[in-house]
Structure 1
Amino acid sequence: MMITNDLTKEQAETRKDQIENIKYQITLYLNKTDLEYEGNTIINFNYKNTTNRTLRIDFITTNIKSLKVNGHLISNYKKYDYWIYIPVSELNIGPNNIQIDYINKYDNTGSGFHRFVDSEDNEVYIHSDFEPYDAHLLFPCFDQPDLKAKYKLTVTGPKDWQFIHNTEIQTESIDGNFKTIIFKNTELFSTYIFALVVGPHEVWEDSYNNIPLKIYCRKSLAKHLDPKNLFEMTKESFQFLENYFDIPYPYKKYDQIFVPEFNFGAMENVACVTFTEHYIFRSKQLYSEYLSRSNTIFHEMVHMWFGNLVTMKWWNDLWLNESFADYLSYYAMSKGKLFPDAFEFQFSRKEWAYMQDQLSTTHPIVGSAEDTADAFSNFDGISYAKGSAVLKQLTYYIGEDKFRDGIRLYLKKFYENNTVLEDFLMCMSETSGIDMVEWSKKWLETTGVNTLKFNLDKDQCYIEQMPSETNHKIRDHAIMYETYDEKDGKISIVESNKIIISSAKTDVNISSSSKFTLLNAQDHDYVKIHFRDEELNFIYNNLKNINDRFTQRIIWGNLWQMVRDNTLSAIWFLNLVEKYSDIEMDSTVLQEQMLQKTMSIKSFYLINDYRELWSNKLYNLAYKNLEKNQNDQFQISWFNLLLSCAESDTGLNDLKAILNGELVFDNLTIDQEKRWNIVSKLCAYGDSDYENLIITETENDPGDLGDKRAFMCRVSIPDLQMKNQYWEMFTQKKQNHSSKYLTYGMSGFFWYKQNELLSKYVEKFFDDIINIYKNKDVHYSSNFSHILFPSIMNVEEMLNKTELFIDQNDDLPKLCKKSLIENKDHLKRRIKILNSQKQTTTDTDMEVLI
C-alpha cells in the first residue's frame, strides 16, 4: 500500500483524545536568495493518559537539526516522510513542550510555503496556503481542524519586506539589512487558517469603525489594483455581516493580500485573507467578473465567523464552512448597494452544482471524508454551489428571520468551538419550530437533483416531480410559480404564488388557460425545470417580450439543462440564440446565458458536420454584432464568441488584422489579455509567423504573466517534436518550474484542430496519469487530469479506453480514479447528445428530442 501525505479521520480522532490546550511558538529565518529557510517551533500542550504508544506530529522537512521533549534532547523518535512519532514514554501527563529546530525548502506548488520570484523586477514574494492539510509544510503541528491553538510568531527577514500574519505586530527591530518582527499572540483557531505572507508589497490602508484595513499586492501589479473599489466592497460586507450575525468582528484587523500563483480564488486565513492575482484586473472586464470578485471578498469575510470562529470538527462537515459562506455572500450582496442583483449570478453558479450532482462520484452535502484526500476532493460544486442553493431553499422554506435567528444562535452557542451537523440542526429546529432532522435527511444527507415539470391533463393542473437517476428520492420543495399570458404582443404575469411540492405528483390550483407557467420563479429552489412542448413554443415565439432579466436567466438556464439532459436538441438551442441574441438588451444575459452556452455546445455537443457549420454561422453572427458598436460589455462578449469560432482562413486572417490594428471595432479595446488569446489561436492553427508573434507580445508584457502566456502559445504550436518536449516537462518527476507555469502550458496542449496530430497522446495520458498522482501534489495532479484528458479525440473510443483503464487498474490513487470516472461520465453524456443529432437530417431541425 502506497503511503501518502494524508491524515485519516480515525488518526485525527485518536490524537484528539491524546492532547489539548495547544500553543505554538514559531520562529522563522528568511532571506531573499536561499531556496531553504530555518525554523524553530515549540509546541506546548497537555497530554492525557491514553493507551497509545506514540504521539504523531505532522511535519514535512528537509532536515531536523534537533528535537527536544520537555527540555531534553531525544533521539528515539521516528521520522518518516510526512510525520514524526514521539514515544509517549518521553511525555508527562499534563503540560509538555516539544521543541524542533529544522531546515526546510520552499514550495513551488502554490501550496505550503510558496516562493515566487517576479521576473519583471526580481523581487521575491512568499505566501502560505494550507487548506486542508498543508500547515505541516511550514512548521511541525497537529494539523487537524478540531485541535485549535494559539500561535506566537517571530520572523527575521529582509528589512524592506512586509511581514503579514493573522495578528498585529508587537515589536520590530532592525539589525543591518534584516529586521525581526514579533507578532502578538493570536486568537484560538485551527492550523489550516494560520498565515504568513512576506515580500516588498505595496500597501493601501483604510479602516472600518475601529478595524484597521489593509490591502497588499506585489509592486509590478500595483498600477492595476483598484483599492478604492476593494475597500468599498470590504466595508459593505462588514456592515451587513456584523449586524446579521449580531456578533462583532472577532479579530483585531483585516488584511487582504493578492498573491502570485495561488491555487484557489482566495483563502480565509484569520484576519489575513489571500486572493488570486486574477482578481487584479489589468484591463476592462465583463460585469460578471467584477461581481465574482466582490462575491469572493464577501465569501471570505463570512468565513471569519463561519469557519474561523466556529469550525467544523472534521472535513466531512466542510459544508458548515463553504456552503454558508457561498450562500451568505450572495445574500449579503443582494441586500447592499454595490451588487443588489447578486442572486441572479448565484443562479448561474448552480450550473456547477447540477453538473457535479449528476456525476456518479457525487456525494451528499454532508460528505464522508475518510481522510484529507477526500477532504480535498470535496472542495467541489456540492460543498459550495449545491450547499448554497439548498440553504437558499431552507431560507424560503422557514422564512428569512427564522433562518437568521438560527445562524445567530449557532454562532453564539459554539463560539471558538468545533461543530458537527447535529449542532446546526439543533439551532435551526429551535428557532424555526420545525424538526430539521427529516429535512436534513432529504436535502443534506442524500445526493441528486430533482426535476419539476408542469402538466395539464384536460382541466387538471399538476406538477410532476422526477427523481435523479441515482437515488430516486422525492423531496419537499418550496417554490414560487408565475403564470404568463400574451396579448397584443405583450407578455404579462397573471398569477404568482408560493407552493409546497411534496410528492411525485402535486395537484395545483393554477389557471389552465395561461400560456406559460414558470416553476421556481426567482430561483428559491435547487431543482431543474423541464418545459413542455407548448411551453417551448411559447418561449421560441415570445422570449423577447419577457422583460424581467432574472426570469430570462431562469428560462435560458433551464433550457441549457434540458440540452445537457438530452431532452432538448442542441440545434434548437442554437437557433434560439441566433434568433434572439441580435436583439438582447442585457449584456449579462447575452454573455452568461446565451453565448457562453453556445460556445460549450460548439465545443462538446455537436457532431463534426454541425460543428463546422455552426462555427461559421456563429462567427458571422459575432462579426455582424461587433459592427453595431454597442457598449464595451456587448463588444467583449461578441469578441469572445468571434475568437472561439474563428477557424476558417477568413476568421484567422481577421484575427491577425485585429491584432495588427488593421481591423478595429468601436468600444472594443484589444488589451494584452485579448492579444495573448489571439496569438494562442493563431499559433494553434499553424501561423507561420508564430515566433515573431510570441516575441512581440512578450516584449509588450514583461513579467511572469507574459512568460506564462508565451509558454502557453509555444505549447499550442502544431509541431509534434515540440509537443513531445512539453509533455516531458509536464510528466517528469523533478519539477523545475512552478506548478502554475506548467498549468498554463497544459492549457495550450490540446486543440480540436490538432486531434489527428496528437492521437498518440491518448496512450501517453494513460501511461503517465498514475505516476502523476503518486509523485505530484493534489493541485497539479487535478489540473493534469482535467486539462490533459484527451477529450478532443473520438468520444466513443475515449470512453472505451477510459473504462478499460479503470477496470484494469484496481489500485488507482483515489483522486485519480475519481477524476477518470468523472471524465467517463462527461463522455457518456456527450455520446447521448451526439447520437441524437445523428438521427436528424438538417441543422434547422426544431424538434424536441424526448
Structure 2
Amino acid sequence: MPSLTRDEARQRAQLITVDRMEVDLDLDRGAEHFGSTTRIRFSCSTPGESTFLDVRPVSCERIELNGIQVDPATLFEGRLPLTDLGAENVVEVVATMAYSRDGQGLHRSTDPADDEDYVYGHLFLDAAPTVFACFDQPDLKAPYAVTVRAPESWVVLGNGRATRGDDSTWQLSETLPLATYFVTVCAGPYVSVHDEHDGIPLGIHARRSLQPELERHAPQMFEVTKQSFDHYHRTFDVRYPFGDYDQVFVPEFNAGAMENPGCVTFRDQMLHRGAATREQVLQRSNTISHEMAHMWFGDLVTMRWWDDLWLNESFAEFMAYTCTSAATEFTDSWVEFGIARKQWGYAAERAPSTHPVAGSPAPDAQSALANFDGISYAKGASVLRQLVAHMGEAAFNAGVTAYLRSHEHGNGQLSEFLAAMEEAHGESLADWSAAWLETAGVDVIALDRDGTLTRTAPDAHPANRTHTLDVAGFTDGAEVARESVRLDGPSVHVDLADATVRLPNASDLTWAQVDLDAATLAALPTDLARIADPVARSVVWGAVLTGVYRSTVDPAVALDVFTATWPHESHDALMTRVAHAFDHRIVPQFVRDEARGDAAARLGVAALAAFESAEPGSDRALVAARFLAETSTDSERLTAWVEARSLPAGLEGDSDFRWLVLQRLARLDLAPDDLVDRVSADDTTLSGHLAALAARAARPGIRDKEWAWGEITTNRERSNYELNALAAGFWSSGAVDDMRPYAGRYVSDIPRLAEWLGADALDRVATLAFPSRVVEDATAELVRSAMGRPDVSSGVRRSMGDELSKLEEALTSRARWA
C-alpha cells in the first residue's frame, strides 16, 4: 500500500474540506469480519477536479458518489479515485472489513480467562481506512456521527457518549472535529466504574476478568484524573471540550496509551494484578496525565502534518510531568523522568537515526513512525523546560493559551506556535528554536577539578545551545555547594570549594549528557548512596550509564559503583531502572564473555543484599525481590517461590511475580514442560498465557529455541503480544555458539513478517528479536547489509539501525576497555 505523501496531503487539503463523517459499523458478524458503511459530506474548492478516498476493505459492496455508482474495481492499493467533483459532495462506501490481530485498525482479542471477545479501535497512524472510508490525513478534521451494531451482551464506547437502542445498535453522540487517527470504538463485555468531576462525566473500563483490579485501582486513577483536569484548566485557561471522559484498558495494545478524544485507550497491564510499587503507580498516573494533556495538544489543536509531531508528544510529555509533580502526590516525578525517559532519549540521540525535535523530515505518513522516539518525547519535554527557564513560566503559559485559542478545533505548525510564544515573550525565539528544536544532537557537559564547566556540541550537529542549569558539590554525601549557571559559551568557571563529588546539571534541568571527572567517579562507591537528593542521584546514575554506553566509563568501574551503592538506594524508580540497565544491557553486552558469569553473580549478590536489608513489604523490598528473582542462581529459593513457599511479604498470590521466578528457572534450564503447564493451569489469563510463551522461549535448549523462532517467524496466527513475548524470551538465554546462527536468520526472516503483520507490531518485533546477545563484528556486518535491502521496510530498517547502534556501542566499549 502506498503511504500518503506530504505533497499529496497538501494538494488534497487545498482541494477539499470534509464537513461531516457518518460511520455505521456492524460488529455482529462473527470473529473475522465486520461491516462498515461510511457517508462523507465534503466540499470541493474547484468543481470538476478529482481526488481520492482512502479505504482498505476485504470487499466493497457498493460505492456511490453524488448518487452515481462507482465501480469498486477502480479501488487500487487502498485508494479510490473520485472524479468530476461538485462544489458539494456526498460519497458513500459499503464495505466488509477484517478485524486485526496486530493491534492496528479494529483489533479483536479473545480473553482466555473466560473466552470473551473484545474489540478496540487503534487508528493511528494510517489504519483508519481499514475501519471506514476516509480522507486519511491529520488536517482534514471533521465531526463524526457513529453508530455501532454489537452482540447483545456487549457494551460500546467511543469518542461520543454511547446510547443503546432497542436492537443492539448504539448511537454515539456527534463529535467536535476530529482527525481520522483519533477515532475509536471499543466494544465487548467491558465492566465499568463511573464518577464525575467539574461537570465532566468520568468512566474507567476494562475486561470483565479484570473487574477486581479495575475496582481496586479506580479510586487512585480517578483522583489523578481529577487533579490533572484541575491543573490543565488552570494552566491553559481553556476548558476540556470533548464531553464525557472515558478511559478504557484494552488487551494487546501496541502503545502505552492513545489520546482518542473522550475515549482514551490504555494497555491493560497497567491494571496491576499483584503488588505495584510507587514507581509503577506513578508511571500509570503520568500516562493518565499525558493522554489528558493531548486533549489540548493534539486533539483540540492537531499538527498539520507529521513533521510537527513534537507539538503533540513533547508537550504531552512535558505537561504530564509538570502536572504530576505539581498537582498530585508524585512530587518527585522528575526523578523517574531523568532515569527512565531521558535515558531513552539520550540513546536515540546517539543513534545514527537522530533527528531534530521539530521539523524532522516526514515525506510520507509511514516515515513519521520513525520519529515516535525518545527525541520527540523526552528531549522535546526537556527542551520545553529550557524554554520555560528562558522566557519565564507566566509568559510561557500565556503563549500556550494564545496558541490553543487561536487554533482550536483546527491545525497548527511550528511557525504558528513560535509566533504565539514570541508575542507572549516580547522577543524573537528564532535563535533558540534553531539551536534547540531544529538541530539534532546532544551536548556533553563536564566539570573539572579546577571548576571549569565545559559544553561540547557533537561534531555532526554543531549548535550554540544556551544551557540554564545548576552545578552542585557533595562531600561524604552532604551538599557543600550549589550554583546556578547560564552556560552560553564553551565554558564558564564555578566555585565548588573542595567538594569530593562534583555534579553538573545537578537538578537535571537541561538536556545534556554528563561526563563525571575521574575523582568524582572514584568517590561514588562510598559517597553516592549518602547523597540525599534523589534528583542528583538520578543524574549521577544516568551519567554512569551513558558513560558506559559512550565508552567513557569502564563497565568494570560501573559494576563496582553498582554493587557498592545500589543495595542502599532508597528511591524505587532509581532502583528499578538502574538494575534493569545492568541486568539487561551492561552485563550481557558490555562485559566480555569470559567475565560475564562473575558479573552476573555480582548482580545477584547485590540483589540479595538489598532484599535482606529492606523493610518487608516496602517498595524497596518489592523491587529487590523482583531483581533477586531475575538474577538469583539459588534453585532452592526459586523453586520454593514458584511453589508459593517462603514468599516475600506482599507477594503472596502474586501471579506476575510467580511467572518472573519461573522465567528465571527457565533461563537456568530448570523449567520442564510439566512445571510450565502446572503454573499455566493456575493462571489462565491473557497475562499468564503470554508469560508461559516467554518462559518456553527462554529455555536455553536448542529444540526450545528452534520452536520459539518458528513461532515468531512462521505462525501467522500469533497476535502482536504473543510475538513480543516469544521474542523477549528467546534472547534472554542460550550459549553464544548456539545462538549465533539466529543472527543470520534474524536478517532473513524478520523482514518477511511484513507480509501479514502491521508496521507498528512488526517494528516492535524487529526490536525485541534483534540478536543483541551475539556481540560480534559479524553480527553488525549482517545487520548493516540487511538494512540496505529493498525488501526491508522503513520501520524495520529503523528498528535494526537503532539496535545496531547499541550493539556497536558494546563492541566499541569492549575494544576500549579490553
Please tell me the TM-score bracket, short chain as reference: over 0.9
Name the SS of the counterpart of 1:523 in structure 2: coil
1:557 to 520, 526, 542: 542
Counting matched residue pairs gives 813
Tell whether the 8 Å contact from 1:217 to 1:257 is kept in structure 2 after alignment.
yes
* Aligned residue runs from structure 1 range 262-277, under 5 A: 262-277=253-268
Name the aligned partner's letter for residue 712 of structure 1: A
Checking the alignment, whether the CA contact within 8 Å between 2:583 and 2:600 is kept in structure 1 is no
- 1:221 is aligned to 210
- 1:80-124, CA deviations, whole angstroms, 9 ceiling, x for partnerless residues? 1322112x22x21x1100111111111111110011122222222
Query: Scaled by the length of structure 1, what TM-score is found?
Result: 0.92
Q: 1:26 aligns with which of 23, 26, 45?
A: 23
Q: Is the 8 A contact 2:525 2:560 kept in 1?
A: no
Alpha-carbon distance in structure 1 between the residues aligned to 2:429 and 2:468 = 15
What is the one-letter code of the residue matched to 1:350?
A: K
Q: Could you tell me which amino acid in structure 2 is paired with residue 328 of structure 1? A: M
- Mapped to 2, the partners of 1:183 and 1:751 lie a distance apart of 46
Q: Match of 2:169?
A: 180
Following superposition of structure 1 onto structure 2, how do residues 335-354 of structure 1 map, counting pairs within 5 Å?
335-348=326-339, 349-354=341-346
- Tell me, in whole angstroms, the C-alpha distance in 2 between the residues paired with 1:236 and 1:358: 36
Q: 1:575 to 1:517 in 2, by over 3 A?
A: closer
Residues in 1 aligned to 2:574 and 2:176: alpha-carbon distance in whole angstroms? 45
For residues 58-137 of structure 1, the aligned pairs below 5 Å read: 58-75=54-71, 78-86=74-82, 88-89=83-84, 91-92=85-86, 94-137=87-130
Instruction: For residue 51 of structure 1, report the CA deviation from its aligned partner.
Output: 8.1
Structure 2: give runs of 5+ residues left out of the alignment.
none
Q: Does 1:816 align with 2:812?
A: no
* Equivalent residue letter for 1:617: R
Contact 2:129 2:136 in 1 (8 A): yes
Question: Which residue is equivalent to 1:478?
Answer: 468
In the alignment, structure 1 residue 830 sits paired with structure 2 residue 816: no
Secondary structure of 2:329's partner?
A: coil
Select the residue among 406, 413, 416 that pairs with 1:420: 413
Q: Map 1:205-220; keep pairs closer than 5 Å.
A: 205-220=194-209
The 1:511/1:224 distance shift into structure 2, 3 A limit, reads closer
Question: What secondary structure sits across from 1:627 in the alignment?
Answer: helix
Q: Which amino acid aligns with 1:756?
A: D
Q: Report Cα offsets for 1:178-209 as digits up to 9, x if no partner.
A: x1222221111111101111111111110011
User: Quick check: 1:774–1:813 contact (8 Å CA) kept in 2?
Assistant: no
Q: Secondary structure at the match of 2:560?
A: helix
Query: Does the C-alpha gap of structure 1 residues 29 and 16 become closer, same or farther in structure 2, counting only changes over 3 Å?
Result: same
Aligned residue number for residue 195 of structure 1: 184
Q: Give the match's secondary structure for 2:811.
A: helix
Give the aligned partner of residue 554 of structure 2: 569
Q: For the residues of structure 2 that align with 1:347 and 1:40, how far apart are their CA atoms?
A: 47
- 1:801 matched to 2:789: no
Tell me the SS of whatever aligns to 2:734. Answer: helix
Q: 1:698 aligns with which of 657, 666, 680?
A: 680
CA deviation vs aligned residue, 1:508-533 (integer Å, no higher than 9, x gap) = 35355544443212111001121222
- 2:624 maps to 1:638: yes
**One-letter amino acid of the structure 2 residue matched with residue 128 of structure 1:** G
What is the distance in 1 between the residues matched to 2:154 and 2:792? 44
Does the 8 A contact of 1:19 with 1:46 survive in 2?
Answer: yes
Q: What SS does structure 1 have at the residue aligned with 2:463?
A: coil
CA shift for structure 1 position 653: 3.8
What corresponds to 2:3 in structure 1? 6
**Match status 1:740 vs 2:721:** yes
Structure 1 residue 238: Cα displacement: 0.4
SS in 2 for 1:174: coil
Q: Where does residue 536 of structure 1 map in the other structure?
A: 521
Unaligned runs of 5+ in 1: 839-850
Tell me if structure 1 keeps the 8 A contact 2:753–2:762.
yes
Cα deviation digits, residues 808-847 of structure 1 (max 9, x gap): x356422232222222211211012112332xxxxxxxxx
Aligned residues of 2:123 and 2:181 also touching (Cα < 8 A): yes
Residue 563 (structure 1) shift: 1.8
Does the C-alpha gap of structure 1 residues 456 and 731 become closer, same or farther in structure 2, counting only changes over 3 Å? closer
**Conserved 8 A contact 2:141-2:178:** yes
Q: Does 1:454 align with 2:451?
A: no
Contact 2:631 2:664 in 1 (8 A): no
Q: Quick one: distance in 2 between partners of 1:76 and 1:581?
A: 64
Q: Which of the pair has more CA radius of gyration?
A: 1
**Aligned residue number for residue 675 of structure 1:** 658
What residue number does 1:494 align with? 481
**Structure 2: distance between partners of 1:731 and 1:600:** 25
- 1:397 is paired with a residue whose SS is helix
Q: How far, CA to CA, are the matches of 1:38 and 1:667 in structure 2?
A: 48
Residue 399 (structure 2) aligned to one of 395, 399, 406: 406
| Alignment check: 8 A CA contact 1:595 1:637 kept | no
What is the CA distance between 1:602 and its match in structure 2? Answer: 1.5
The equivalent position to 2:367 in structure 1, one of 374, 394, 398, is 374
Q: Are the counterparts in 1 of residues 189 and 207 from structure 2 also a CA contact under 8 Å?
A: yes
Matching residue's letter, 2:810: R
Report whether the alignment pairs 1:141 with 2:134: yes
Q: What letter matches 2:222 in structure 1?
A: F
Which amino acid counterpart does residue 17 of structure 2 have in structure 1? E
Q: Structure 2 counterpart of 1:125, which letter?
A: Y
In 1, the alpha carbon distance for the partners of 2:59 and 2:151 equals 23
For 1:395-794, list aligned pairs within 5 A: 395-455=388-448, 461-484=451-474, 486=475, 491-497=478-484, 499-504=485-490, 506-510=491-495, 513-593=498-578, 596-597=581-582, 599-628=584-613, 630-632=615-617, 633-646=619-632, 648=633, 651-666=634-649, 668-669=651-652, 671-687=654-670, 690-732=672-714, 735-794=716-775
AA aligned opposite 2:462: H
Q: Which amino acid aligns with 2:770?
A: F
Cα distance, 1:36–1:812 mapped onto 2, change above 3 Å: closer
Post-superposition CA distance 1:291-314 (Å, at most 9, x none): 010000000100001100001000
SS of corresponding position for 1:100: strand
Structure 1 Cα separation of the partners of residues 420 and 346 of structure 2: 28
Identical residues among aligned pairs (%): 27
- The CA distance in 2 between the partners of 1:520 and 1:554, in whole Å, is 7
Q: Which amino acid aligns with 1:374?
A: S
User: Does 2:346 align with 1:363?
Assistant: no
Give the Cα separation in 2 of the matches to 1:616 and 1:390. Answer: 40
| 471-480 vs 306-315, which moves further | 471-480
Cα distance, 1:300–1:12 mapped onto 2, change above 3 Å: same
Letter aligned with residue 765 of structure 2: F
8 Å Cα contact 2:224-2:328 kept in structure 1 = no
C-alpha contact 1:145 1:192 (8 A) present in aligned 2? yes
SS in 1 for 2:472: strand
Which residue is equivalent to 2:305?
A: 314
**Aligned partners of 1:352 and 1:385 also within 8 Å:** yes
691 and 725 in structure 1: CA distance in 2 versus 1, 3 angstrom threshold? closer
Moved more, 233-242 or 463-472: 463-472
Instruction: Give the secondary-structure state (helix, strand or coil) at the position aligned to 1:164.
Output: strand
In the alignment, residue 58 of structure 2 is paired with which amino acid?
T
Amino acid at match of 2:725: Y
Distance 1:768 1:136 in 2: 28
- Tell me if 1:297 matches 2:288: yes
Cα distance in 2 between the residues matched to 1:667 and 1:704? 23
Offset, 1:713 = 2.1
User: Aligned-residue CA RMSD in angstroms?
Assistant: 2.1
Distance 2:690 2:48 in 1: 53
Amino acid in the other structure paired with 2:286: N
Q: Residues 472 and 496 of structure 2 are in contact (CA less than 8 Å); yes or no, is this contact kept in structure 1?
A: no
Give secondary structure in 2 for the equivalent of 1:510. coil
After superposition, the Cα gap between the structure-2 partners of 1:595 and 1:141, relative to the gap in structure 1 and judged at 3 Å, is: closer
Aligned-residue offset at 1:625: 3.4
Question: Which range is displaced more, 293-302 or 403-412?
Answer: 403-412
Letter aligned with residue 777 of structure 1: G
Gap change, CA 1:836 and 1:162, over 3 Å in 2: same
Q: What is the aligned partner in structure 2 of residue 844 from structure 1?
A: none
Q: TM-score, normalised by structure 2?
A: 0.95
